[in-house]
Amino acid sequence: MAKTARATKPKPWAEAATHLVDVAMGRRPADLVIRNGRWVNVHSGEIIAGTDIAIAGGRFAYCGPNAGHAIGQGTKVVDAGGRYLVPGLCDAHMHVESGMVTVTEFCRAVIPHGTTSMFIDPHEIANVLGLPGVRLMHDEAVAMPINVLVQMPSCVPSAPGLEHAGAELTVADVAEAMAWENIIGLGEVMNFPGVAANDPVMAGEIAATVRAGKTVGGHYASRDLGLPFHGYVAGGPEDDHEGTRAEDAVARVRQGMKAMLRLGSAWYDVASQIKAVTESGLDPRNFILCTDDSHSGTLVHEGHMDRVVRHAISQGLKPVTAIQMATLNTAQHFRLERELGSIAPGRLADLLIVSDLAAMTIDEVYGRGVRLAKGGKLDIDIPAYDYPKTAKNTVKLGKKLKPGDFDIIAPIGANEVRVRVIGVIENQAPTRALEADLPVEDGLVAMDRRNDVCQIALVERHLGTGGVTNAFVSGFGYMSDCAMASSVAHDAHHIIVVGTSKQDMALAVNRLGEVGGGVVLFSKGKELALVEMPIAGLMSDERAEIVAAKADRLTEAMRQMGCSLNNAYMQHSLLALVVIPELRISDVGLIDVTTFQKVDLFV
């Protein structure tokens, strides 16, 4: 039976130092000694055979050729058998809510894959519940047996004036949160035009973070590397994960930023940008790997940061270099080099025993000196975290939706209209601003399923106004009568519904109102798949493997409807993200994110 793991934070290094010295000198016994390993030293870039590691009080005390002097009567000894000793992996930028599960369940899913540190930005729950929602996830993170550090959300709403979220965060909120024990910095500053224009809210939040001595996260989602980019960097953001091209990575590193390269469930930006290192020879110390984001199905079936490291190695990086980008580089960026990111004296004893380095075959996972997983299975159980009623029942529709709510009235007398269409780009977060000529039937604009143009609508869900914004989208390939609705709709998290049948669109939205949020797919009046997410309409309160199974059914149902996009749910959930070009939908209307202006549906 798995033992229950409760968060036990080791003493600070300053308080533990004398005991660590005694263990390193052989005057006191270690709690755990791992012998005969190949030490992946991310400081020197070496792999050192015949290494012993001694651990005491949850920290590394001795790393060297023979820890026999640290073995006492109560010391547990593990023989690594020549396998690799790798620092615990760090995810430098992610949003737990995108995993469809709570922090607890996310940790349960990723620990067997070697993730022992996560830097999370809970701006999803912040857009629904505000500062109290951030506090809930902060407190849950503190209770975890691994290191879950929280970045205070910076942009709630993400684009003021272009969308209305369920809450709003202020400079005062950010300044208050900087004093919380587990806040590591400011979450991605998505309002990049605001930074370049010296918006007082953006400038104030960044200043509060810098005064607290913490890291400012970046998010520059434009391909324009001219003056707006230079103004953004001058404003203070220290990293960026929105690059998609090698030149994006180069530009960021040259300006003193860290280039965060992401491989999530639907974003594949490592291969193109890593060429800045493998081909252009840039210093790999300024590159960091992250996921941003992974849903439950990816976590359970494919992995987490082990998947990212494995992919980076396949793109031509040396294994030690790829591991540095997922360990030491991350720790240094967040000013935690003396706590995380390496196997070295004094650091938290987070390490992996790995049998195949290039394949990242993880045999055992240790966090703070305790074995947490072995053979891909958790060794421990993490108690569930109870979310209060105030975090639930957040989907307020204000009315029962009808098919007519999705009618798009054509200009009087028109037989055909030219409309703007949101174009999905597979495996990337940006969209294309497309146009299409659509027929008019009985005064209403009709979809064009043969040319992959179906309808998209955003339904307001925070205030119950009953508001519906209608538009068109291309890229999902739906061939049958169907509709998929989700209350996960970055970043304001209204309901997005995409479909080829207005009847199914109404049924799908109403169903989410009944269950308190989630994602659901209907076809011809029948519910084909449902993932309930009652916590803020963003997260399930079920086990990760159960959620993954439901997500699998959703993916299969989408395929049956004709959708062959990789991780189409993730693409669906970003269609309202009005801080990433080119064209998005919000409760305000259709938004051109290259100009940050509302545009008309009709061209």
* Section 337-351 average pLDDT: 98
Mean pLDDT of 484-498: 97
Report residue 502 as tokens. 């207005």
Residue whose entry in the numeric block shows the structure tokens 């040319």? 451
Other beta carbons within 10 angstroms of residue 139's beta carbon come to: 15
Q: What is the pLDDT of residues 127-155, one digit of tens each?
A: 999 999 999 999 999 999 999 999 999 99
370-390 residue pLDDT tens: 999 999 999 999 998 999 999
> At residue 186, does pLDDT exceed 90?
yes
Both tokens of residue 585? 């939908």
Place of tokens 């209770």: 143
> In the block, which residue shows the tokens 């958790």?
378
Q: Which amino acid is at 518?
A: G
Please tell me the least confidently modeled range out of 2-16, 318-332, 448-462, 464-478.
Answer: 2-16
Q: Which pair of structure tokens corresponds to residue 141?
A: 């993170």
Q: Which of 344, 350, 270 is nearest to 314 (CA)?
A: 270
Residues 418-442, mean pLDDT to the nearest whole number? 95
Burial of 404 (0-12, 13-18, 19+ CB in 10 A): exposed
Reported as type and span, the H/E element at residue 20 is: helix 13-25
| pLDDT > 80? residue 490 | yes
Q: Read off the pLDDT of each residue in 81-110 and give the average, rounded to a whole number.
A: 96
pLDDT score recorded for residue 22: 98
Angle, CA 332 vertex, CA 328 and CA 337 arms, to 5°: 75
Cα–Cα distance, 142 to 547 (Å, whole number): 23
Q: What is the structure's pLDDT at 4? A: 63
* Amino acid identity, position 124: E
Residue 483: which of 549, 421, 554, 577 has the closest Cα?
554
Q: Which two tokens stand for residue 242?
A: 């929105």
* Mean pLDDT across 35-59: 98
Q: Compute the mean pLDDT over every residue in the chain, rounded to the nearest whole number.
A: 96
Using pLDDT thresholds of 50, 70 and 90, give the confidence band for residue 300.
confident
Q: Is the pLDDT of residue 513 over 70?
A: yes
pLDDT at 266 over 80: no
- Say what the alpha-carbon torsion angle 90, 339, 359, 548 is, to the nearest 10 degrees: -40
Provide the token pair at 569. Answer: 């749910």
What distance in Å separates the CA atoms of residue 264 and residue 490, rounded to the nearest whole number? 15
Confidence tier at 86 by pLDDT (50, 70, 90): very high
Percent of the chain clearing pLDDT 90 (strictly above): 93
> What does residue 37 show for φ and ψ, rounded to 5 degrees?
-110, 170
Determine the number of helices (DSSP H) and then strands (DSSP E) in the chain: 18, 31
pLDDT digits 0-9 by tens, 237-252: 999 999 999 999 999 9
Distance CA(58)–CA(358), nearest Å, equals: 28
Quick one: which of 49, 54, 59 has its CA closest to 24? 54
Q: How many residues does the chain have?
A: 603
Per-state percent for the chain, helix, strand, coil, to nearest 5: 30, 30, 40
pLDDT at 79: 98
Q: How many CB atoms lie within 10 A of CB 4?
A: 10
Using DSSP's 3-state secondary structure scheme, residue 202 falls into helix
pLDDT of res. 265: 78
Average pLDDT over residues 394-400: 97
pLDDT in the model for residue 1: 46
Which residue is associated with the tokens 């040259």?
A: 254
| Full-model pTM | 0.94
| Reported confidence tier of residue 294, pLDDT bands at 50, 70, 90 | confident
Mean pLDDT for 384-410 is 96
Q: Going from the N-terminus, what domains does the chain have, and what CATH number goes with each?
A: 88-337 (3.20.20.140), 391-599 (no CATH)
φ, ψ (nearest 5 deg) of residue 439 = -75, 160
Instruction: Determine what percent of the chain is predicted with pLDDT higher than 70.
Output: 99
Determine the Cα–Cα distance for residues 417 and 412; give it in Å rounded to an integer. Answer: 11
Q: What 3-state DSSP class applies to 145? A: coil
